[in-house]
Amino acid sequence: MTTTTESVINIIKDINPKTEVDAGNTGAVLFDLGLDSLDHASVLLQIEEEFGIKIPDAESELLVTVDAIVKFIGDRAS
């Protein structure tokens, strides 16, 4: 079974395979790891679809690390 963190990392890598994200740097800012703003929007759309959640625009600006995204998903699931 895949964890939420692994799922988020897989989504990011599917959107941009050159992104240097892995389980060891989930606190790093995604833009510093190779994502651009279009990739970021695509990642968040895919997360909405996969996890069945809605990410408000105001929140999306704060979701710039894997850790922040995972926490957001967890908060919505509970």
Return the active site residues: 36
Within 10 Å of residue 75's Cβ, how many Cβ atoms? 9
Report the alpha-carbon distance of residue 10 to residue 36 in Å, rounded.
Answer: 17
Residue type at 49? E
DSSP code, position 17: T
Which tokens is 46 given? 């895919």
